[in-house]
Chain A
């Protein structure tokens, strides 16, 4: 197609940025290579374990062949959820809209290149998750020539429908957010709806599975007439049906081309429609308010944060889930929770579980690791104002701390009340939250200062794909996982309480080191960044 290949090549090249990787120091390259490999293997290991557990559970009912279609559906949902905001920024509200439309490239090629980029991303993600699942399944259940062919086809078709659906939803979000004054609220409601949907699904997974087992025929009919593509995947694996395989390919690729053709009919019009901006006609200057410089910096930070739903949900997701969980325990039997922990293979008491949860959430909910990058081209404003560079950094650290600590403390109160923790235990939990959150807030800003991304095309790139965000969330995750894995080996020599006290003492010392870095290195580094 006209210029499609050139467009795709350029897009992929600019996304991967090989030149930047080539310029990286060898030691940095080795370090990040190790981190990514370690994280990758940990994730693959977890996927393998989950698949193994699922095979054991379904073997009892003779429904093992349903697992691949089940994985297919789950990954499809995951890809769909992941792609909605990406499609908005890649396909519709892209910054290069004007540039590309002004070039002698057919709009079909522009659309194709964007859809294919989204599809490629989704394909790589699904490959990373689905491949270990398929290999585990093959090892446990047995492998045949048919299975290999069916698996390959499944891998190819998996990202197609989620990409189509996400593109449609992405357009709706882009359209509504551009046309409405309450644009952010629409994005918030849609995102919150999505979170609640997943929370509901996963919190009721047991009853849903029981319903599936008990109403097998009804479900099969529902899938057959409602989601024919999934029904064909079931047929493919349960009956090794090549007819289903061919139909599956025809349906998926057919839908893909129909979608492309339909979108292409109005694509150029859609882009120009999205470009229209809504403005008020008349402005009246009401009484202005005076705020102290430090306060206004904090409010500016808050305004920036809450104006970006993708930033909010990427960082507040864990805290929201924890808050919902802490409220849910009021309506759950304490014994059921203890049983759930035991079934999960954790030999821990409730207090230790809450400590782990608080630490985990505190380290993973981090706004500061993107807070410098999110300034982007606006960084000159802060740097040219008569405020100390340290104040800018401290405000960003404090913002993360305050936003996260409030829901975490509410959760701690709720857990302490329901689980009957003593006052000392509750205070210890609050101390753990403060130390952990302080550590993650400062770590986030230091990492972001070290690896800023000021040239991102939009917030999604900063919040989801920038190096500082990946490091600030993955590194603590790896550390927590590693420390958790080590403990069973040293359990004989040290009690869990002592182990936790040592770990939190280390985190406390780390906080002091980070305070020194923020007072010395960080302002200098901020001055260097341009």
Chain B
């Protein structure tokens, strides 16, 4: 579903490489954890995957299509949840969801079903008529998550998706992820909560100073240790 080959990104001319020759493959129905220190290159890689930033070297393919040459086709297949839910403040929650559904050409019937389902699940339905500017950080995060799920994506890319969510919503998101996985949807997400990564993910990739230092199934990577111990060890 996702294939990253020798991906490198440098900010500014002659600057230091933020990501250096990164290789990664996410198969259909897999949940992939992406971990690393602050500034390791996680967000840069994620932003390149979803076509927000350009890159000079390497290739990123989504469902065999290059994000460089076929950005529209790739973006139609994915959903992106950023690390900060910065969304239009001057519209109502429902207007934002409807806007995203229009862009992805979601039928009226499907969007109504999805909005009803996910908004009720995340307990935000009653607030959809309010301006986004009145939402808390967590509510905005929930709105972004709902908007990402409206068009039945094949791959969901999330940057710290659990930050700001209350425990119930975090639990529900994990359940949704597992259910969607069974239907063949893939997930790649970055997180600093290693326990969640350990329990939820099939595979994990560890990035350090822009370079991938370990990747594979959670079992292969951590062995007998906890993921937390391994992470600290690898970064020392």
A binding-site residues for B, Cβ under 8 Å: 277-285, 287-293, 296-297, 300, 303-304, 307-308, 376-378, 380-381, 383-388, 524, 527-528, 530
Contact = CB atoms under 8 A, between A and B. Distances in A.
Contacts of B72: 386-388
5 contacts: A296-B102, A304-B88, A380-B52, A380-B80, A388-B72
Interface residues of B, number: 44
Contacts of A280: 129-130
B88 A296 contact: no
Given A277-B133, A281-B126, A386-B72, A303 B91 contact: yes
Given A285-B115, A386-B76, A387-B72, A378 B126 contact: no
A288 B108 contact: yes
A522 B115 CA distance: 35
Given A293-B103, A386-B72, A530 B53 contact: yes
A377 B84 contact: yes
Given A287-B108, A380-B86, 20 more contacts: A279-B127, A280-B130, A283-B94, A283-B125, A284-B129, A285-B116, A285-B125, A285-B128, A288-B108, A288-B112, A289-B98, A303-B95, A304-B90, A308-B90, A381-B88, A383-B52, A385-B100, A386-B74, A388-B72, A524-B54
A278 B129 CA distance: 12
Contacts, number: 99
Nearest to B98: A288
Interface of B: 47, 50-54, 71-76, 80, 82, 84, 86-88, 90-91, 94-95, 98-105, 107-108, 111-112, 115-116, 125-130, 133-134
Contacts of B84: 377
Contacts of B134: 277-279
Contacts of A277: 133-134
B50 A384 contact: yes
Given A277-B134, A279-B127, A378-B88, A292 B102 contact: yes
Interface on chain B toward A: helix, strand, loop, or mixed SS? helix
Contacts of B116: 285
A23 to B, nearest CB: 11
A409 to B, nearest CB: 29
Contacts of A284: 129
B108 A386 contact: no
A98 B202 CA distance: 41
Nearest to B100: A385
